[in-house]
């Protein structure tokens, strides 16, 4: 039996059977290293990046020890953003499918407070949420953690970066001291070590090296004359590579907006993502980028953490990251699942010393390259392959993905192959359709019916 075989762990047989049905062939390195200690009920600090299989690592641990007949909150998972919390909750539910009657509840800001109170009154086994909203429910006595056995801090470094230290301390004051605490973090700066020392008991430290080989990500450095020349360099790289999906990292919120605005001004579908966006704007931004109806996302490091976006073709570092570890996290967004990715970093002559420090940190000599020819700027900006249509009805109106496909296809409708990602929320749904069939799709949904009802339809833009 391989040490990477899930059945070697002594997991609940229902969990093992479900893993097989989900296509989990064997453990990832972080799972193989961390799960034995987690299953032994030890506190664990795991240094692992997005895409390493960390969510399944702690999810299997907490599900294996859960007592389903005790209908109390036994596990709390805290995440820095609502998007990550939603992804974690989906993953836990998926892994829990083989065990009946497990209730997972999400408590995040940006959502109506009242319905969450109602859900808490009905009880839950596992709560996944953001620190601010969880602390608010505890303060108002809507949430009881007296029966908690497991606390998980996911993306702990970003939670502290986002200013959640006080909220974390407040939340921990409501839970039993005798519990298992699992801390997952992409980086391990001193403030994380300080937090771990205060809230954990003799934790086991687990670290996996970056899973991306030097061959899976092509890294190139491009020198620019000054800060004003950076946006021109970005345009040249975009025109040269023509990627379907590009993530551009900036160090500040102001630069994030400026870069996105500049790119939109010359015709690109570019979106900005940072902490000042309202939740609705953030949600729609992520919908459009993930379904390929916007090719370019310009983001700060904090805002981009926890994004689960596959097949990212290009990463551009508008500036060198302030922390060397963050650079590795940035470029790790591309070159996933065996695909080759490209990471481009812009720097000025004044920043040569930073390049030297980065190469020492990476233990790798980075390729310096010339920017593509200026003649590329005379070519028009390329379009995103898809558009997004918003439907004014969702789960509450019994709308399902299959109903949307049915409304779009049929006689003189949109071929099923031209329909992309469909996401259905409580009161809305989004569907991506290829540019060529966008008008047909809009007319079919506007003039037709879904489940016998007419819904307001609009195209998401800008």
Asked if 27 and 5 touch (Cβ cutoff 8 Å), the reply is yes
Domain 386-459, architecture per CATH: 2-Layer Sandwich (3.30)
Q: What is the pLDDT of residue 51?
A: 67
3-state secondary structure (DSSP) of residue 408: helix
- Structure-derived torsion over alpha carbons of residues 131, 136, 138, 142, reported in degrees to the nearest 10: -130
pLDDT of residue 311: 63
Percent of the chain with pLDDT over 70: 94
Does pLDDT of 426 surpass 90? no
Give the rounded distance of the alpha carbon of 388 from its chain centre. Answer: 20
pLDDT at 328 over 80: no
pLDDT of 5 strictly over 60 = yes
Question: Is it the case that residue 86 has pLDDT exceeding 70?
Answer: yes
For 10-33, give one letter per residue: b (16+ CB within 10 A) or e.
Answer: ebbeebbebbeeeebeebbbbbbb
Query: Is residue 410's pLDDT more than 50?
Result: yes
> So what's the pLDDT on residue 110?
77
E-strand spans in 31-125? 44-47, 75-78, 104-107
* Separation CA 224–CA 349 (nearest Å): 8
The two domains 6-207 and 217-378 share their CATH topology (first three levels equal) = yes
pLDDT tens profile 352-408: 899 999 888 888 888 899 999 999 999 999 999 999 999 999 989 999 998 999 999
pLDDT band at 302 (very low <50, low <70, confident <90, very high): confident
pLDDT of residue 303: 66
Cα Rg of the chain (Å, integer): 23
How would residue 20 be classed by pLDDT, with cut points 50, 70 and 90? confident
- Looking at residues 322-330, what average pLDDT do you find? 80
pLDDT of residue 209: 65
| pLDDT for residue 322 is more than 90 | no
Among the ranges given (192-206, 241-255, 316-330), the one the predictor scored with the smallest mean pLDDT? 316-330
Mention every residue, 6+ apart, whose C-beta is less than 8 A from residue 379: 239
Sketch the domain layout of the chain as residue ranges. 6-207, 217-378, 386-459
By C-alpha distance, which of 321, 324, 330 is closest to 362? Answer: 324
**End-to-end alpha carbon distance in the chain:** 53
Please report which confidence band the pLDDT of residue 79 belongs to, taking 50, 70 and 90 as the band edges.
Answer: very high
Pick the CATH number of 6-207 from 3.40.50.300, 3.40.50.800, 3.40.50.720, 3.40.50.1970: 3.40.50.300
Contact 325, 161 (CB under 8 A): no
Question: Under 8 Å CB-to-CB from 122, ≥6 apart: which residues?
Answer: none
Angle at 9 between CA 3 and CA 11, to 5 degrees: 150
Question: Residue 90: enclosing H or E segment and its boundaries?
Answer: helix 82-95
Average pLDDT over residues 231-249: 94
Spatial CB neighbours of 114, under 8 Å, sequence gap ≥ 6? none
Instruction: Tell me the whole-structure pTM to 2 decimals.
Output: 0.67
Is the pLDDT reported for residue 200 higher than 90? Answer: yes
CATH number for 217-378: choose from 3.40.50.300, 1.10.460.10, 1.10.275.10, 3.40.50.1820: 3.40.50.300
d(CA 304, CA 285): 12
Indicate the helix (H) or strand (E) that contains 233.
Answer: helix 230-241
**Residue 136 pLDDT greater than 70, yes or no:** yes
Burial (CB count within 10 angstroms: exposed 0-12, middle 13-18, buried 19+), residue 416 = exposed
Measured CA distances, 199 to 81, 152, 154, 179 (Å): 22, 12, 15, 10
Distance CA(14)–CA(2), nearest Å, equals 20
């Amino acid at each position: 039996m391989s040490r990477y075989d899930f059945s070697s762990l002594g997991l609940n047989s229902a969990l093992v059977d479900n893993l097989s049905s989900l296509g989990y062939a064997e453990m990832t390195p972080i799972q193989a290293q961390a799960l034995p200690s987690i299953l032994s009920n030890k506190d664990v600090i795991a240094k692992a990046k997005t895409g390493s299989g960390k969510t399944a690592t702690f999810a299997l641990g907490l599900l294996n020890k859960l007592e389903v007949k005790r209908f109390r909150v036994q596990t709390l998972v805290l995440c820095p953003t609502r998007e990550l919390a939603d992804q974690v909750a989906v993953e836990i539910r998926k892994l829990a499918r083989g065990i009946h009657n497990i209730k997972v509840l999400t408590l995040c800001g940006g959502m109506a407070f009242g319905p969450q109170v109602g859900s808490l009154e009905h009880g839950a086994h596992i709560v996944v949420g953001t620190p601010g909203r969880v602390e608010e429910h505890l303060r108002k006595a809507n949430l009881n953690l007296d029966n908690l056995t497991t606390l998980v801090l996911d993306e702990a470094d970003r939670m502290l970066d986002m200013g959640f230290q006080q909220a974390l301390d407040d939340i921990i004051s409501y839970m039993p001291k005798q519990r298992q605490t699992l801390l997952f973090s992409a980086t391990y700066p001193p403030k994380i070590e300080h937090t771990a020392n205060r809230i954990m008991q003799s934790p086991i430290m687990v670290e996996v090296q970056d899973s991306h080989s030097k061959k899976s990500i092509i890294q190139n450095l491009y020198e620019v004359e000054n800060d004003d020349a950076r946006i021109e360099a970005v345009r040249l790289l975009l025109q040269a590579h023509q990627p379907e999906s590009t993530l551009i990292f900036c160090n500040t919120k102001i630069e994030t907006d400026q870069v996105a605005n500049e790119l939109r001004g010359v015709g690109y579908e570019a979106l900005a993502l940072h902490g000042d966006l309202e939740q609705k704007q953030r949600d729609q931004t992520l919908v459009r980028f993930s379904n390929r109806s916007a090719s370019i996302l310009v983001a700060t490091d904090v805002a981009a953490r926890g994004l689960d976006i596959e097949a990212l073709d290009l990463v551009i570092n508008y500036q060198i990251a302030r922390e060397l570890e963050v650079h590795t996290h940035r470029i790790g967004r591309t070159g996933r699942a065996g695909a080759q990715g490209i990471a481009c970093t812009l720097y000025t002559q004044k920043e040569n010393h930073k390049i030297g420090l980065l190469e020492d940190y990476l233990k790798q000599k980075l390729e310096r390259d010339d920017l593509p020819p200026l003649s590329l700027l005379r070519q028009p900006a390329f379009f995103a392959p898809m558009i997004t249509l918003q439907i004014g009805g969702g789960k509450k109106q019994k709308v399902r993905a299959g109903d949307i496909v049915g409304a779009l296809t049929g006689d003189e409708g949109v071929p099923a192959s031209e329909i992309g990602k469909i996401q259905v929320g409580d009161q809305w749904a989004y569907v991506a359709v290829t540019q060529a069939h966008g008008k047909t799709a809009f007319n079919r949904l506007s003039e037709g019916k879904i489940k016998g009802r007419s819904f307001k339809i609009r195209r998401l833009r800008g």
